[in-house]
Structure 1
Amino acid sequence: MIYSILLAIAGLASQVSAACSRATLREVAAAYVEAQVGGKLTLLSLASNTSYAENDKPMDITKGVLSQPIAIDFNRSIYDTTQCATFTELTSATSKHPYVIYTRMLLTEDASQITKIESVVTDSGDWAFNATGHLYWTRQEKWDPIPESQLG
């Protein structure tokens, strides 16, 4: 019994040590948006073995959409401090080549480097694609913090 309790405590301790700060994740997501706007991968702190995929297909990051400058009309990010990850939504509706991009990034435990970037990239020709409509409806959404009194 005591070994089960110690094992559970050790598991919780490892989860706590893997947590990243919200401020750090916010900085990483902002750097991602800036990198996408400029098409400048050098703005990202990538680990030497960072994996990159678009639409579930692994690819060379230097040949992907992230290496192309894109005008961003709207962006929003979510920060997972437990898994040390970010999720960012980008909408580019007014540029010559419109996109809607959803990107998940995983970081090292200390959030010093990005280890994985996974993007869903949609553009014209994709089923039901409408960046202008997406931009309109996305701007209507309110993602205010949930008051602590309403949390489970």
Structure 2
Amino acid sequence: MSITVNGLDELRALAGSDLGTSRWITVSQDRINTFADATDDHQWIHTDPEKAQTGPFGAPIAHGYLTLSLFIPLFTEVLQVSGVTAKVNYGLNKVRFPAPVKAGARIRLAGRLASVEDVPGGVQIAVDGTVEIDGGDKPAAVLQSLSRFYA
């Protein structure tokens, strides 16, 4: 379920709100391999399923930065902002990867709009995000993302 706001005033009014969760998505071996090709990171723990079976995680795992990159499509499922001229990824305050995402695992985002601050021409939001692993004891990622929305 997505929360939809129109304009900066409605976004400001959401500060401190729980944004809920996105749908579950599967992180397939194909997606992991495509990310490896895009980033030139072909370490065997990601791309060699046979060897990874005997490795430290018992299976191939997604790159941490692949998990992080999935924040954006998952975030757009929990919060839709209309009535703005531009949306910009401004950065991250903190990121941790407590648990690996094994190939074939399902993940989703749980988010909270931590803050909304005025910046020239718009607002900057901080979102506390937790990327959950279906059936996992620990999250795949815990982060605070910064985005800017311009009027």
TM-score (norm 1): 0.30
* Larger fraction in helix: 1
* Larger fraction in strand: 2
| Higher Cα Rg, which structure | 1
Higher relative contact order, chain-length normalized (CA < 8 Å, sep 6+): 2
